[in-house]
Amino acid sequence: MSPETSPAPAPASGAQLPPPPSLADRIKTVAANPLCGVVVALVVIFVLSCLLSAHFLTAFNMKIIARSLAFVGLVTIGQAILMILGELDLSVGAIGGLSGVAGGLFMVQFGLDPWLSLVLCLALGTACGLLNGVLITQLRLHSLVLTIGMAGVYGGANLVLTKGVAITGIPGAISFLGRGMMFGLPVPFVILLVCLAIVSFVMLRTPLGRYVYAIGSNKAAARMLGIRVDAIRICAFASAGFLSALAGIVMVARLGTAQPSIGDTWVLAPIAAAVIGGVATTGGLGSPFGAVLGAVIIGIIENVIVLFGISPYWQSIVSGGIVVAAISFDSVARRYFNREA
Amino acid sequence: MVLLKATGIRKSYPGVVALDHIDLTLEPGKVHILAGENGAGKSTLIKTLSGLVRPDEGALAIEDGDALQEPRLFQRVAYVPQELNLFPYLTVAENMFMPFGRSGFGTITVSEKAMEREAEKFISRFGIHARADQKVADISVPDQQLLQIARAATQEEFRIMILDEPTSSLTAKETERLFRIVNDLRDKGIAIVFVSHKMEEIFSLGDTVTVLRNGRSVGTFPMADMTESELIRLMSGSTVKLDEQFQSRSETRDDDVILSVEGLSGPGFDDVSFTLRRGEILGFAGLVGAGRSEVMQTMFGFRKARAGRVMLEGKEIARNRPDKAVRAGMMYLSEERKHHGIFPMLSVRENIALAVTGAITKGGLISGARETATVSDIIGRFDVRTSSPEKKIMFLSGGNQQKAIIGRAMARKPRLLIFDEPTKGIDIGTKFQIYRIMQTLAEEGVGIILVSSEMSELQRCANRIVTMYAGQINGSFDHADTDVSTLVAAIIGSPETSHVA
């Protein structure tokens, strides 16, 4: 049993550069990127929509999509941060509705300055999110369960304030936020882009953003490293509350009335959008940018359903089915490219 | 007679050749040891033999049938993974016979009573201290480990059993129980594949040994002619001195107290006091469950303290605030690498960068260039073997994960580093690297605490050893004038030897 004559090549130490990857490896690297699935799906759906409907790719229709996308998009950013962190907030819709009508009340009933009302409304949404975060971290509750309860509380407060009736007579001063155009884009869409840019910057370029991914990947290890896990979780809930309130008040500005029903559809669509966009429901993976791309897909699908004149009775089945198909495609593709890695 | 014959097995993953033309032959009634450092390819090979991984090339014959063509032949192989994967809220019997359709205890409804009666047979055969109707969450970890083996053995037609580091969380007594079972199976003509890093086990159980290094087979040898140093040389490709000592040298030690703990009480321990002086490596010995990790984690603020004070270099550490402990210069490297150490879904780069955000930011923003430089410096200095810093850390071997975590902790320039079982499941070469790191740090004046269940490790590294028994400190011994039997007597709570030095 003589020792091996040709020993294995010296193990590659991390400091040395690995050999340049082959083309196949490069394709795999690109394909393994969590954004790849959603981009491919988005391109496919966009091209199909252009081919199937002559009315789809028009400036007018694009504006419609961009404007209606902004609301779910804003909520999606907040939900995506929470999901990356390993949390979920089912009260974002209720916070958006409550903050929106509260903003309306400040302006109409109390006659406050519209911009001051806007600030108060955002503060209220942030406070609601903060309360969620404090309860979840301090009482060690599961975010899903707590926010189901809080959705009831915030939604109920909305009804107590409005008695279910819309508040009309919103001052024209803020209608620009909902209806105006800026750089040729609808203002709500510009607000979405600005928020997305800020959040993406924080997530990618600051230690805080890294900590969010770390907590989502392994909460105990994050604590062991001295990361202030609970403080960051509370901040994330507060940010989600802020973004929901922003969506709520911009919606009020757009409608010109504060409807108690604002936010009713902002709960499930953002979660679906985030998953389509590559955010893992278990935390630690994905990006707000991907999640917003997921929201774009859902927005296009809903738009095309209307353009095709599909019976309203069928709309929900079609859009739900396409969402499931998109998620499945992503999951299957990821398993194919990521096998064992 | 040959039960299993693998020839020319090759398996590659993007960027790595995990197995490079491996041959392996298993004979009935023999214990075949698989030895090799972390990342040598042992796990991949085991998974190939049990049908969980399909090789790219090569042939695999089980009882003369081609197993790659007839997957049902893999039913002859009972595989016991290293990690516990039981259903904690189901009973012992249910865990044993899941899925019920296979075991014949339930096609439409589950016949609970009959199943429990059958389970009792396995319970007594494997010496598990549990009742068949007990929930797995309520039985001890060693019993869970044995239950896993029993579960594999319920597969009736098995002729080959693969045990992947089955003793890593067992005490000496429980290991003995396990060995009796292994010997019993061997006598019944089962071929056993046994993976272990512990030399005593390898030499007391093995008939033959196959050594892997970097995905290649170094050779297969009869255990009878093997010596410990020869085996280590084959595994690491280099020689290590078995009697090398890693205590910090006495001239670097002084009476300056780095850490003092006074009357600390918390979950699982009471009234613990000790001090750590500059330049010494303080060992903590004790049985599993004696409360050593609990003390460390409470000191660090990860668990809630009921009473007591922790002073680091004269400053009191706030209770229950790991973030403040870290800022004060304390770092804790947990025994539970998977649960408390790595961020499995993040890359090696991100895992390391998380601890050094101060060094890689410029005006509060992460600088890509600084990050790359800092991370590759740590990767190089601590010899973390990865094909790329972008690889997800969960795909690295245990030893390399550990080196990445240590490197990350060191980059923070801690004042006190607590190593909790730092070499659990880690090969000898890497072990010695870790010992050397501890020694260097201690000599540089960093406080080092080493919690270990391996007496040889404590003897090799610690200047002073504190023993714990049942949640209390019951002794403190100087390395220089203490023998192993005194220490062992203290950790098992033998009254006549426990004294406080």
How far apart CA B342 and CA B338 sit, in angstroms, is 6
CB contact under 8 A, A206 and B341: no
Q: Which residues pair with B127 in a beta bridge?
A: none
The interface residues of chain B toward chain A in range 204-243, judged by CB-CB distance below 8 A, are: 213-216, 218-219, 221, 225, 233-234, 237
Burial class (CB in 10 A: 0-12, 13-18, 19+), B245: exposed
Q: Is this model's pTM higher than 0.90 or not?
A: no
CB contact under 8 A, B344 and A217: yes
What pLDDT was estimated at residue A21?
A: 60
Of B71, B68, B122, B69, the C-alpha closest to B93 is B122
How far apart CA A137 and CA A323 sit, in angstroms, is 32
Average pLDDT on B330-356 reads 87
Distance from the A313 Cα atom to the nearest Cα atom in chain B, whole angstroms: 40
How far apart CA B486 and CA B475 sit, in angstroms, is 10
The pair of three-digit structure tokens given for residue A258, joined into one six-digit string: 């504060």
- B396 → chain A, closest CA residue: A341
Of B237, B365, B385, the CB nearest to A13: B385
pLDDT higher than threshold 90 for residue B493: no
Look over chain B and give the mean of its residue pLDDT values, rounded to a whole number. Answer: 85
CB of B366 within 8 Å of any CB in chain A? yes
Fold matches, B4-236 and B250-329+414-501: yes
Of B300, B324, B342, the CB nearest to A218: B342
> Which of B343, B349, B357, B397 would best serve as a mutation to test chain A binding (most A beta carbons within 10 A)?
B343
Angle at A135 between CA A278 and CA A78, to 5 degrees: 30
Look over chain A and give the mean of its residue pLDDT values, rounded to a whole number. Answer: 85
Q: Which residues in A lie closer than 8 A to residue B334 (C-beta atoms)?
A: 224
- A21 → chain B, closest CA residue: B15
How far apart CA A162 and CA A101 sit, in angstroms, is 7
Of B302, B385, B392, the CB nearest to A12: B385
What pLDDT was estimated at residue A6?
A: 39
Say if A7 falls within a structural domain: no
The CATH class of B4-236 is: alpha beta
Cβ count within 10 A of residue A173? 14
Of A9, A14, A207, the CB nearest to B357: A207
- Structural domains of chain A, count: 1
What pLDDT was estimated at residue B175?
A: 82
Q: Which residues in A lie closer than 8 A to residue B19 (C-beta atoms)?
A: none
CB contact under 8 A, A284 and B387: no
pLDDT in tens, A139-172: 989 999 999 999 999 999 999 998 888 888 888 8
Q: Which residues pair with A88 in a beta bridge?
A: none
How far apart CA B20 and CA A166 sit, in angstroms, is 72
The architecture in CATH of the region B250-329+414-501 reads 3-Layer(aba) Sandwich (3.40)
pLDDT higher than threshold 50 for residue B387: yes
pLDDT in tens, B303-334: 888 999 999 988 898 888 899 999 899 999 88
Pairing of strands B416-420, B330-333: parallel
CB of B43 within 8 Å of any CB in chain A? no
Lateral strand order in the sheet of B160-164: B77-80, B160-164, B191-195, B31-36, B208-213, B216-222
What pLDDT was estimated at residue B498?
A: 42
Q: Which residues in B lie closer than 8 A to residue A207 (C-beta atoms)?
A: 357, 361, 364, 366
pLDDT band at B126 (very low <50, low <70, confident <90, very high): confident
Q: Which residues in B lie closer than 8 A to residue A223 (C-beta atoms)?
A: 302, 322-323
Furthest C-alpha separation in chain A:
94
Which CATH number is A157's domain given? 1.10.3470
Say if A5 falls within a structural domain: no
Query: Percent of chain B scored above 70 by pLDDT?
Result: 93
Q: Which residues in B lie closer than 8 A to residue A284 (C-beta atoms)?
A: 343, 345-346
What pLDDT was estimated at residue B384?
A: 86
What pLDDT was estimated at residue B386?
A: 84
H/E stretch holding B217 reads: strand B216-222
Query: Higher model confidence: residue A71 or residue B290?
Result: A71
How far apart CA B174 and CA B141 sit, in angstroms, is 10
| Burial readout A227-250 (b: 16 or more C-beta within 10 A, e: otherwise) | bbbbebbbbbbbbbbbbbbbbbbb
The interface residues of chain B toward chain A in range 383-442, judged by CB-CB distance below 8 A, are: 383-389, 391-392, 395
pLDDT in tens, A177-233: 888 888 888 999 999 999 999 999 999 889 899 999 999 988 888 988 889 999 999
pLDDT band at B84 (very low <50, low <70, confident <90, very high): confident
A191: containing domain: 35-46+56-334
- A283 → chain B, closest CA residue: B345
Q: Where are the domains of chain B?
A: 4-236, 250-329+414-501, 342-413
Query: Positive or negative CA dihedral for A58, A59, A61, A66?
Result: positive
The tally of CA atoms less than 13 A away on the side-chain side of residue A64 is: 14
CA distances from A284 to A145, A211, B31 (A): 21, 10, 42
The pair of three-digit structure tokens given for residue A218, joined into one six-digit string: 């392994």
- B404 → chain A, closest CA residue: A14
Say if A286 falls within a structural domain: yes
Residue entry with tokens 């659990």: B424
Q: Which residues in B lie closer than 8 A to residue A13 (C-beta atoms)?
A: 380, 383, 385
The tally of CA atoms less than 13 A away on the side-chain side of residue B20 is: 14
- B356 → chain A, closest CA residue: A207
CB of B345 within 8 Å of any CB in chain A? yes
Looking at residue B24, the DSSP 8-state letter turns out to be E
Residue B468 near residue B291, CB atoms below 8 Å: yes
Least confident of A257-261, B212-216, B423-427, B495-499: B495-499
Q: Is B117 helix (H, G, I), strand (E, B) or coil?
A: helix
* Whether the complex's predicted ipTM surpasses the cut of 0.85: no
SS in 3 state form for A169-198?
CCCHHHHHHHHCEECCEEHHHHHHHHHHHH
Of B251, B253, B286, the C-alpha closest to B272 is B286
Average pLDDT on A50-57 reads 85
Distance from the A113 Cα atom to the nearest Cα atom in chain B, whole angstroms: 36
Query: Higher model confidence: residue A315 or residue B191?
Result: B191
Average pLDDT on B360-375 reads 87
Residue A45 near residue A297, CB atoms below 8 Å: yes
What pLDDT was estimated at residue B433?
A: 84
CB of B96 within 8 Å of any CB in chain A? no
Question: Could you report how far apart the first and last alpha carbons of chain B are, in Å?
Answer: 60
Of A21, A224, A340, the CB nearest to B340: A224
CB contact under 8 A, B395 and A220: no
How far apart CA B170 and CA B149 sit, in angstroms, is 13
Rg (CA), chain B: 24
- A210 → chain B, closest CA residue: B354
Least confident of A100-114, A279-293, B31-45, B305-319: B31-45
How far apart CA A241 and CA A219 sit, in angstroms, is 22
Of B212, B219, B162, B168, the C-alpha closest to B37 is B212
